[in-house]
């Protein structure tokens, strides 16, 4: 577990108006997930967008002409093996995340939190596109971190 001096900086900005999520609730959940993942430090900048803005980011940076639920931009070189600190930007599309979890229990913040954890794990060096084994490892880490933060299963 990290020490009391561990530096976790978390910023949550929301472009849609009115803001779809309670920012303090999201930050509290992220802090709990960070306690579980235990990086020495974290500097996370979360930006909540709508589908149109996410589609522009996805097209421009990943060459995919559609919206998606989450995109992570690591602060460190993505070629580095699992970075020690979690640092980077995480974009989440509120409409896509809520649409994909419409049958899940929990608040909208809890449901979008799952995708933020997914983005955090990408910043930590996980990549589900490297094959089934890595996808299973990443899914387990997502489930474990969400379960720890929420005190229950999300789905």
- C-alpha span between 6 and 67 (Å, rounded): 35
pLDDT tens-place string over residues 99-115 = 999 999 999 999 999 99
Q: How many domains does the chain have?
A: 1
As a whole number, the mean pLDDT across the chain is 91
pLDDT at site 84: 73
Query: Which residue shows structure tokens 């084994």?
Result: 133
Domain of 15 in residue numbering reads as: 7-150
Cβ-Cβ contacts under 8 Å for 27 (sequence gap 6 or more): 10, 12
User: 2 in a domain, yes or no?
Assistant: no
Residue 38, in any domain of the structure: yes
Q: At 58, which CATH number?
A: 3.40.390.30
- For residue 45, tell me if it sits in a domain: yes
Residue 97: what pLDDT? 97
* Any domain includes 136: yes
Residue 1 resides in a domain: no
Q: Is residue 155 part of a domain?
A: no
Which of the four pLDDT bands, split at 50, 70 and 90, describes residue 129? confident
- What SS3 string covers 4-50? CCCEEEEEEEECCCCCCCCHHHHHHHHHHHHHHHCCCEEEEEEEEEC
Per residue in 40-71, pLDDT (tens digit) is 999 999 999 999 999 999 999 999 999 999 99
Query: Which percentage of the chain shows pLDDT scores above 90?
Result: 80
- The answer to whether residue 81 sits within a structural domain is yes
Q: Which residues contact 107 (CB under 8 A, 6 or more apart)?
A: 25
Beta pairing, strands 41-49 & 7-14 = parallel
Helix/strand number for the chain, H first, E second? 5, 4
Nearest in space to 88 (alpha carbons), one of 52, 55, 144, 126 = 126
Classified as helix, coil or strand, 77 is: coil
Q: Does residue 114 belong to any structural domain of this protein?
A: yes
CB 60, CB 91: distance < 8 Å? no
């Amino acid at each position: 577990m990290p020490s009391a001096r561990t530096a976790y900086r978390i910023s949550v900005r929301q472009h849609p108006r009115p803001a779809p999520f309670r920012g303090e609730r999201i930050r509290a959940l992220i802090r709990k997930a960070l306690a579980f993942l235990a990086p020495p430090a974290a500097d996370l900048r979360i930006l909540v967008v709508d589908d149109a803005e996410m589609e522009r980011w996805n097209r421009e940076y990943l060459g995919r002409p559609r919206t998606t639920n989450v995109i992570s931009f690591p602060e460190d070189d993505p070629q580095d093996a699992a970075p020690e600190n979690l640092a980077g930007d995480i974009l989440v599309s509120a409409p896509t995340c809520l649409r994909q979890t419409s049958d899940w229990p929990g608040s909208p913040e809890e449901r979008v939190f799952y995708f933020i954890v997914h983005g955090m794990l990408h910043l930590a060096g996980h990549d589900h596109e490297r094959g089934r084994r890595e996808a299973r490892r990443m899914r387990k880490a997502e489930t474990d971190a969400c379960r720890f933060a929420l005190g229950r299963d999300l789905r």
